[in-house]
């Protein structure tokens, strides 16, 4: 995937540039990567993504109520599928690039994209990420939470907590007219301070009209500005924080499951955010 293409902010023919246009054109002249106009959502699109986010949050709230020791991850998948379709929506992962289930369930050393299975049971001490993505009337939303099954070790509990803080700190660092690069910088600092590492091979992403749009949202310090953050953009922040090495690999057998190289645990939280003139607004609360 190309990382630095020049999008050129286009003024529709016959229109005078607004102050909003001029601000973006000034950034572009400084050599910054600016979003194409297509990434700036209209009020109608924002409303559609907001409604999608409400269903997505309903799914996660249901899982929070129902998740328990001894449950199979296939049962979680069924709860997600049934709730989503009962609310007139579609689980975005289902059949996405051949993905076979409605949700990702990632336990302990599984970083993300774990596939639910009737043979996999939640055990006391497990930390599990449930990653839910919803399509409602063509609008996409995406969020994930961690759940601790029974009692876990203090170190695993700390990992879950620090990963949650990393999401909040990343969101706080993202300012309208700032840069996407500010997010990963803040996240990596917090993870490192706590003795943890940040996964580099997977990133957050623009979302809303498609499952994965520009920009790529790295969760580590790339030492690049990255794309300008402009009001009207919608993207996820979803840091994956590891207890040991940041290196990961993909399970060869299923082609999806991402696992830490050292098989130490990993934790992730995710929200979909709208950029406003005042900062980020969570669309998946």
**104 contacts ligand MF3 (rule: CB under 6 A):** yes
**210 contacts ligand MF3 (rule: CB under 6 A):** no
Q: Which of residues 84-143 bind Co ion (CB under 5 A)?
A: 142
**236 contacts Co ion (rule: CB under 5 A):** yes
Do β-strands 266-268 and 234-237 pair in parallel, antiparallel, or remain unpaired?
unpaired
Binding part of the chain for ligand MF3, among 7-15, 35-43, 62-70, 93-101 by CB under 6 A, reads: 93-101
- Least CB distance to Co ion at residue 115 (A): 16
Site string for ligand MF3, 48-87 (x = CB under 6 A): ----------------------------------------
Position of minimal CB gap to ligand MF3: 93
CA distance 37 to 6: 12
E-state strands within the chain? 90-91, 104-107, 110-112, 127-136, 139-148, 197-198, 204-206, 213-217, 234-237, 240-242, 248-250, 258-260, 266-268, 271-276, 279-282
Q: What is the CA radius of gyration of the chain?
A: 19
CA distance 34 to 225: 11
Q: Please work out the total of residues on this chain that contact ligand MF3, with binding judged by CB under 6 A.
A: 12
Partner whose footprint covers residue 99, from Co ion, ligand MF3, none (CB < 5 to 8 Å by kind): ligand MF3
Q: Looking at the DSSP assignment, which residues form a beta bridge with residue 206?
A: 213, 235
Of 23, 58, 78, 96, the one binding ligand MF3 (CB under 6 A) is: 96
Residues contributing to the site for Co ion (CB under 5 A): 142, 236
């Amino acid at each position: 995937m190309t990382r630095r293409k020049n999008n050129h902010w286009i003024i529709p023919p016959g229109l005078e540039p607004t102050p909003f246009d001029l601000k973006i054109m000034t950034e572009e002249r400084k050599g910054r990567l600016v979003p194409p106009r297509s990434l700036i959502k209209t009020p109608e699109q924002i409303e559609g993504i907001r409604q999608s986010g409400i269903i997505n949050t309903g799914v996660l709230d249901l899982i929070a109520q129902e998740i328990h020791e001894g449950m199979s991850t296939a049962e979680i998948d069924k709860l997600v599928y049934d709730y989503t379709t009962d609310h007139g929506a579609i689980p975005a992962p289902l059949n996405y690039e051949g993905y076979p289930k409605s949700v990702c369930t990632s336990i302990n050393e599984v970083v993300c994209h774990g596939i639910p299975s009737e043979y996999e049971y939640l055990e006391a001490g497990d930390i599990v990420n449930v990653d839910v993505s919803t399509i409602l009337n063509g609008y996409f939303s995406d969020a994930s939470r961690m759940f601790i099954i029974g009692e876990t070790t203090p170190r695993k509990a700390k990992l879950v907590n620090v990963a949650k803080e990393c999401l909040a700190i990343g969101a706080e660092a993202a300012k309208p007219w700032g840069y996407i690069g500010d997010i990963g910088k803040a996240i990596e600092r917090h993870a490192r301070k706590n003795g943890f590492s940040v996964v580099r091979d997977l990133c957050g992403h623009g979302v809303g009209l498609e499952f994965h749009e520009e920009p790529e949202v790295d969760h580590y310090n790339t030492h690049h500005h990255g794309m300008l953050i402009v009001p009207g953009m919608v993207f996820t922040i979803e840091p994956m924080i590891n207890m040991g090495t940041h290196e990961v690999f993909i399970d060869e057998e299923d082609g999806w499951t991402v696992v830490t190289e050292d098989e130490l645990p990993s934790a992730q939280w995710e929200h979909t955010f709208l950029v406003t003139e005042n900062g980020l607004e969570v669309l998946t609360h």
